[in-house]
Amino acid sequence: MNRHDPALAAAEPRLFAEGATIGYDNRVISSDLSVAIPDRSFTVIVGANACGKSTLLRALSRLIKPSRGRVVLDGQAISGFPAKEVARRLGLLPQTSIAPEGITVADLIARGRYPHQKLLQQWSREDEAAVIAAMEATKVTALSHRLVDELSGGQRQRVWVAMVLAQETPLLLLDEPTTFLDITHQIELLELLEDLNKRNGQTIVAVLHDLNHACRYASHIIAMRDGAVIAEGAPREIVTAELVEAVFGLPCIIIDDPIAHTPLVIPRGSAPAART
Amino acid sequence: MSVLDPNNGIAFRRPIRSVRWFGERVSHRLDMRTLSVCLVLLAVAVAIALVTLASGEYQVPLPDVVRALLGQAEGRIHMVVVEWRLPRTALALILGGALGMGGAIFQSLTRNPLGSPDIIGFDAGAYTGALVVIILMGGSYYAIAGGALIGGLVTALLVYALAYSRGVQGFRLIIVGIGVSAMLTSLNTWMLLRAKLEVAMAAAIWGAGTLNGLGLDRLGPAALILAVLVPLALLMSRPMAQLELGDDAARALGVNAERTRLGLLVLGVALTATVTATAGPIGFVALAAPQLARRITGTAGVSMVPSAAMGALLLAGADYLAQRAFAPTQLPVGIVTVSLGGVYFVWLLLREARRQ
């Protein structure tokens, strides 16, 4: 497929990796990886620990540069963009962020506007509107004057999500956003992302641990193992017992989720006979 | 204290005023508390400077000091206030500001209130460089300043290299810096002990950091260099604040983390080096000013302008004490800052230890 053919350009997704070899220092995590993020999808990357899913997300968001191949954003190598230009198109919630001591919720969320600001324009009406909208979407408006240090884990994660929402990017990448949240807050966050995806048409890419969450909320799943993509597609089409066994090494059966009618993974466990 | 911005529904917990001028081509979030704190700090610093200009063996009434500064005083008063006392007092203000700003940069980069240039080895290294020049070559002012600069920079590079392991982490940098600092301090003591008495005396006074006897010939170059460094540093204050969110988050928000860090490091070293080259290593202002300023303004993270204002106030105050506390004996101002700063340092260490 010729990526530079103008006739195909319209069909080309906004974000994809092409023959990318990615890793840290001399340790290669993925070699020759090609994967595309479908526009306007809610894509979830799944896989066992250390399978390279976070590394892929970091490469897609320009935090690490592929040693071979490239990541393409809007038809151009992402490494060729100025840093702020990337940040206006693509937002990322990293696994670990640090809230400066004594920062308030509103102040932290306003930091998400940085790529839109200039030396003389540091607080435009658009900045203000984006911060207000991000706070409303994540239901943190009432917390805006609170210190981030004094919030609960679930509230804090919502504030970080609000910060990347304030960035107002058409593409939004999140690295394990539900880790450290209790089940209620996990579901709340996933529904927020689903809503952003459906209502605003924002393309969402998230790394998730829970396969059942992926099945229920994702429109597109990328399953990885040992740095390679072994399956991708809609949950209903690709999630089978064989795939789960191949990705996680987990014997299981797949049943129909009685609520969402998406695949539901039921592990067999080590002694299934004893438990029936 | 929650203050709602009258313009919108965002509660920043602080009095914030959104200003938009020239059809929105200029917009800013003005933090009224930070603004007023800076103005008060500067006013106090200037007041201390005026008192310093007025006092001494030859007392000048305050109104005459003001008149002399406006160029309306005659003969003797003009000579005493403007020619003798003003350069030194102006140096105290601008060097204090430079130390505060340099300290804010280092503390922000290391994300640690202990990460100031005097703690992480810069001052000890500058002293080593100066000592080598003084003892081996006798040394004019420029030779000593050069030696101090090289000593400080080499030490900064050494500490950076020793602390490097896949990027530099704040805490490693501080621990390595304290270690290197201790080694250099013992080397400095050894050099002083080996030197001739007069040479050792002169070197020891330089090493304490002093403004005694500094005149227009030092004020000019220092003011000129700072006039370049300070605006450059201010331009980087926003990316500096973003960097405090962590490298990944800052980069995802469009900050070029490596370039920003390197630029800030160079500026922080340059600000501190300007002070050291002018007056010797003056300790603890860079350590204390950013944290004191942060406590008063109540902002998140350290910021450059309030730290600079606080640094100017601290050094102007310390210099007043250095001149007047045991008059007619003139103390090196560094002795005053170290004595007062030592108390602060102990308190800070205790607080950090309790938190771990």
Q: Between A and B, how many residue pairs show a Cβ–Cβ distance under 8 A?
A: 126
Nearest to A89 by CA among A98, A100, A102, A80: A80
Of A122, A131, A146, the CB nearest to B28: A122
User: Sign of the CA dihedral B304, B306, B308, B311?
Assistant: negative
Asked if residue A170 has pLDDT above 50, the reply is yes
Mean pLDDT across A16-25:
91
- The pLDDT of residue A242 is 93
**Confidence bin at B355 (pLDDT 50/70/90):** low
- The pLDDT of residue B91 is 96
Mean pLDDT across A70-87:
94
- The pLDDT of residue B108 is 93
**Confidence bin at A3 (pLDDT 50/70/90):** very low
Minimal Cα–Cα distance from B301 to chain A, Å? 6
- The pLDDT of residue A195 is 93
Chain A contact for B277, CB < 8 A? Answer: no
Asked if residue B116 has pLDDT above 90, the reply is no
What's the rounded Cα separation, in Å, for the pair B153 and B159? 10
- The pLDDT of residue B173 is 82
What's the rounded Cα separation, in Å, for the pair B92 and B86? 10
pLDDT tens digits for B170-208? 778 888 998 999 999 999 999 989 888 888 888 888 888
Residues B72, B75, B80, CA angle at the centre, nearest 5°? 90
More confident residue, B329 or B183: B183
User: Sign of the CA dihedral A168, A171, A177, A178?
Assistant: positive
Asked if residue A276 has pLDDT above 70, the reply is no
**Confidence bin at A273 (pLDDT 50/70/90):** low
Nearest to B265 by CA among B113, B157, B146, B171: B157
Chain B contact for A112, CB < 8 A? Answer: yes
Minimal Cα–Cα distance from B113 to chain A, Å? 11
Residue B28 identity = H
DSSP state, residue B272: H
- The pLDDT of residue A38 is 96
Chain A contact for B246, CB < 8 A? Answer: yes
Q: Tell me whether residues B25 and A167 touch, CB distance under 8 A.
A: no
User: Sign of the CA dihedral B242, B247, B248, B253?
Assistant: positive
Asked if residue B7 has pLDDT above 50, the reply is no
C-alpha separations of A169 from A69, A107, A204, B253 in Å: 25, 19, 10, 11
Instruction: Using DSSP bridges, classify how beta strands A220-225 and A228-233 pair: parallel, antiparallel or unpaired.
Output: antiparallel
pLDDT tens digits for A211-226? 999 999 999 999 999 9
Lowest mean pLDDT: which of A4-18, A106-120, B321-335?
A: A4-18
- The pLDDT of residue B9 is 60
pTM, full prediction: 0.89
- Residue B142 · residue B130 · CB < 8 Å: no
Q: Tell me whether residues B301 and A101 touch, CB distance under 8 A.
A: yes
- Residue B216 · residue B223 · CB < 8 Å: no
- The pLDDT of residue A275 is 52
Minimal Cα–Cα distance from B7 to chain A, Å? 10
Mean pLDDT across A90-105:
90
pLDDT tens digits for B138-157? 778 888 888 888 898 899 88
Chain B contact for A114, CB < 8 A? Answer: yes
pLDDT more than 70, % of chain B:
96
pLDDT more than 90, % of chain A:
75
More confident residue, A8 or B98: B98
Minimal Cα–Cα distance from A245 to chain B, Å? 33
**Confidence bin at B71 (pLDDT 50/70/90):** confident
pLDDT tens digits for B39-67? 999 999 999 999 999 988 888 888 889 98
Nearest to B254 by CA among A175, A111, A202: A111
Q: Tell me whether residues A63 and B294 touch, CB distance under 8 A.
A: no
More confident residue, A57 or B14: A57
Helix, strand, coil share of chain A (percent; to 5): 40, 25, 35
- Residue B334 · residue B280 · CB < 8 Å: yes
Mean pLDDT across A266-270:
85
Mutation for testing the B interface, residue in A57, A96, A98 having most B CBs under 10 Å: A98
What ipTM was estimated for this complex?
0.89
- The B residues from 138 to 197 touching A (CB cutoff 8 Å) are 166
What's the rounded Cα separation, in Å, for the pair A67 and A24? 9
Q: Tell me whether residues B27 and A123 touch, CB distance under 8 A.
A: yes
What's the rounded Cα separation, in Å, for the pair B111 and B291? 12
| 3-state secondary structure at position B298 | coil
